Amino acid sequence: MDFYSGQVLRLDLSNLRASVEPLDLEWARLYIGGKGLLLRYLFAELAPGTDALAPENPLILATGPFAGTAAATCSRLAVGCKSPATGTLLDSYVGGSFAPELKFAGYDLVIVTGRAPEPTLVRIEDERVEFVPAEGRYWGLETAALEALIREEMGPAAKVLSTGPAGENLVPYACLSTDQYHKAGRGGAGAVMGGKNLKAIAVRGTGAVTVPDMAAFSADVLKLQNERVLSVDNAWTYEEGTPFLVDAVSGAGALPTRNWSTGTFDGAGTINSTALLKIRTKLRACTQCPLACRQVHDFGDHVCEGPEFETLGLCGSNCGVSDLAAVAAFNRECDELGLDTMSTGTVVALAMDLCEQGVADYGLAFGDTAGYLEAPRLIASRRGYGAELALGARDLAALKGRPDLAVEVKGLEMPAYDPRGTHGMGLGYATSDRGACHMRAFTAADDILGGEGAADSLEGKARLVVDQQDFSALAWTGVWCANMALDTDFIGAHLTHLWGRAVTSEELMTTGARIWNLGRLLNLREGLQRKDDRLPERILSEPHPDGVAAGRVVGADAFREALDEYYRLRGWDADGVPTAETLERLCLTEVAGDSGA
């Protein structure tokens, strides 16, 4: 089969049994791959109301049709399940080289169900699938040591997707790791893997991806690479990378600082791209990517990739830490333990605030790096105060009687763009399908990063958020990297080869809207309501006391009006439920009938 392997591998851990079934080609036509296929299979596999940590919650790995070809940045893997952090759908993306290897082994998707009777590792070598006892050998290992051991056993070409000690201990913001530094970070897929008693999936494949007209495909891929990928628009990725955002976002008053108490950090100059460029040693790339944006730095006591912007903001400024080496060490701890840095940094900042407010005694303080560096290990093991911090920001703040101090949406800690400095991001966070996320709608590009939009207004932002969310859903069918400048022409040029016909921008955006609405149906089926599309009270009504965005709030009335407009543009009713006409237009009527929405 061209581009697709045509096979789905099912791993039933309860019975330690593997089986192969054909890929549903009608779903592949409607949802393409990556996020689209992942959500369609998740919708079918997840029984409504299933606990996220129950064996019945399926963990799904989905490749895109171009994984394993020369198409730039398409080596990324989509990982999905019901999230233990939010109770919503979860789709999370990870670079590196796991997805192409899975295709070479012969699989477009892997669906993991059940719970193994004992800790287990799954080894896939083409059609051979083995369930290997993990206790005493793999279980408990940190991510880098685990990968090294598996490569020693299976050979250097083996690719590993694993959970760390945090996932084994069911921390709801545990991530999945591959190629050491690459993380499917958000929403707790690491805890879902750990809850299945599954330490890792290791894969080696010797097959190939077939393409109908290799000469034509290669010529187009090369042309796109030269004209679109290696263009000036994308040069920032390897010149400075995401750390350039530290100065830009702090300069706009939107950099979370000391648990979101202000948005301009006076220590930004020591954790920005200028500081990192001085110690950069080389650049690395995900498979299939000529941009090579992964920056390796020498911190004296260790050399590693990162930190990226979100880590610098949420583990740096938000914790009041301006010591770059300390932020890098915190990042390394999270990487080794399998913790999402974004959530971990936010939770530690909240814990510092709780100490400052006198309602907790964790020995943590803004800017004090000693306790800060101990926190990830305590969280991952749930020892000491780590047991409370492992709850996540929403539940920790509730436990301590200060829900007003948690900055999250639907239980997912907020990314490092404070909506008081860039209001549109607030609407994007509130309506994101997996809780607060900057990767579905990134309106900051329209106001604080060079566009012409107003950062202190929600006017026109509903249209922007809808379009960007639909486009992101389309882009992650591929699974193209969000670091690269993308548009429907670029994506259409690839899909022309997949579908063997011309492709219009309109049908591509309809596909994105179909996937977004499918996610909405799934979330509604899980009980989400309009009241969950919300922003924290402090973002709505508590202004920064100082900094560039001093005095600004999103405002409850402005937010409500923007949400109404967003629902209207989406073709949803006032409660956020897709109308019959919307479902019909997107070929979702039958699916909605199955959902009870």
> Is there a contact between 122 and 130 (Cβ–Cβ < 8 Å)?
yes
> Residue 283 or residue 373: which is nearer to ligand SF4 going by CB?
283
Which of 44, 208, 235, 292 is the binder for ligand SF4 (CB under 6 A)? 292
Alpha helices for 273-368 (secondary structure H): 273-277, 309-311, 324-337, 341-356
- For residue 545, the minimal CB distance to ligand SF4 (Å) is 36
- Find the shortest distance in angstroms from Cβ 478 to ligand SF4: 11
Judged by beta carbon, residue 209 or residue 406, the one nearer ligand SF4 is 209
Question: Is the Cβ of residue 230 or residue 493 nearer to ligand SF4 in the bound state?
Answer: 230
Comparing CB distances to ligand SF4, the nearer of 318 and 341 is 341
Minimum CB distance to ligand SF4, residue 283 (Å):
8
Q: Closest distance between ligand SF4 and the C-beta of residue 65, in Å?
A: 16
Which member of 36, 87, 95, 185 binds ligand SF4 (CB under 6 A)? 95
* Distances from the Cα of 337 to the Cα of 110, 238, 312, 427, 584, angstroms: 24, 27, 18, 32, 46
- Nearest distance from C-beta of residue 235 to ligand SF4, angstroms: 11
DSSP-based three-state secondary structure for 66: coil
Alpha helices, DSSP H, located in 383-452: 386-389, 393-399, 423-431, 444-447
Query: What angle in degrees, to the nearest 10, is found between the helix axes of 556-570 and 461-475?
Result: 50
Residue 176 in tokens? 């999945």
- Minimal distance, residue 74 CB to ligand SF4, in Å: 8
Residues 225-244, one symbol each (x = binds ligand SF4 by CB under 6 A, - = not), give ------------x-------
Helix (H, G, I), strand (E, B) or coil at 263: coil
In terms of DSSP bridges, do strands 280-284 and 198-204 run parallel, antiparallel, or are they unpaired? unpaired
| Phi/psi of residue 121, nearest 5 degrees | -120, 140
Give the residue with the Cβ less far from ligand SF4, 260 or 309. 309
Q: Answer yes or no: are the C-beta atoms of 411 and 392 closer than 8 Å.
A: yes
User: CB of 534: closest distance to ligand SF4 in angstroms?
Assistant: 31
Q: How far is the CB of 482 from ligand SF4 (least distance, A)?
A: 8
Q: Which residue, 67 or 586, has its beta carbon nearer to ligand SF4?
A: 67
Residue 122, phi-psi category: left (phi > 0), alpha (psi -120 to 50), beta (remainder)? beta
Sheet holding 89-94, edge to edge: 17-22, 7-12, 109-113, 59-62, 77-82, 89-94
Residue number, 313 or 426, with CB nearest to ligand SF4 = 313
Cβ-based nearer residue to ligand SF4, 25 or 292: 292
Q: Are 178 and 75 in contact (CB under 8 A)?
A: no
Residue 105 is inside which H or E element, if any? helix 98-105
Closer CB to ligand SF4, 209 or 293, in the complex: 293
* Alpha-carbon span 595 to 597, nearest angstrom: 5
CA–CA separation, 220 vs 165, rounded Å?
Answer: 44
The distance of closest approach from Cβ of residue 476 to ligand SF4 in the complex, given in angstroms and rounded to an integer, is 12
Per-residue b or e along 192-213, where b marks 16 or more CB atoms closer than 10 Å to that residue's CB: bbbbbbbbbbbbbbeeebebee
**Interstrand relation of 89-94 and 109-113 (parallel, antiparallel or unpaired):** unpaired
- In the list 159, 186, 294, 552, the residue contacting ligand SF4 (rule: CB under 6 A) is 294
Two structure tokens written together for 495: 């899909």
Q: State in angstroms the smallest separation of the CB of 338 from ligand SF4.
A: 19
How many chain residues touch ligand SF4 (CB under 6 A)?
A: 13
> Does 293 participate in binding ligand SF4 (rule CB under 6 A)?
yes
Q: How far is the CB of 85 from ligand SF4 (least distance, A)?
A: 23
Binding mask 261-290 for ligand SF4 (x = CB under 6 A): ------------------------xx--x-
What's the Cα-to-Cα distance from 517 to each of 43, 44, 466, rounded to whole Å? 12, 15, 11
From candidates 77, 221, 291, 539, binder to ligand SF4 by CB under 6 A: 291
Cβ proximity to ligand SF4, 305 vs 446, nearer residue: 305
In angstroms, the CA 419 to CA 417 distance is 6
- Pick the binder of ligand SF4 from 5, 57, 69, 73 (CB under 6 A): 73
Which residues make beta-bridge pairs with 57? none
**Long-range Cβ contacts of 134-137 (<8 Å, 24+ apart):** 134/197, 134/199, 134/200
Helix 488-499 vs helix 505-525: angle between axes, to the nearest 10 degrees? 90
What is the β-pairing status of strands 120-125 and 109-113?
unpaired
Q: Which of residues 539-578 bind ligand SF4 (CB under 6 A)?
A: none
Calculated CA dihedral for residues 228, 231, 232, 235, nearest 10 degrees? 110
Nearest distance in Å: CB 304, ligand SF4: 15
Q: Which is nearer to ligand SF4, 75 or 595 (CB)?
A: 75
Shortest distance, CB of residue 26 to ligand SF4, whole angstroms?
30
- What is the footprint of ligand SF4 within residues 425-484 (CB under 6 A)? 481, 483-484
In degrees, rounded to 5, the angle at the alpha carbon of residue 49 between the alpha carbons of residues 44 and 53 is 90
Q: What tokens does 32 get?
A: 């393409």
SS3 110: strand
In angstroms, give the least distance from the CB of 95 to ligand SF4. Answer: 4
Q: Segment contacting ligand SF4 (CB under 6 A): 24-32, 60-68, 291-299, 495-503?
A: 291-299
Closest distance of CB 170 from ligand SF4, Å = 28
Between 483 and 523, whose beta carbon lies closer to ligand SF4?
A: 483
Kindly list the residues in this chain that would bind ligand SF4 in the complex (CB under 6 A).
73, 95, 237, 285-286, 289, 291-294, 481, 483-484
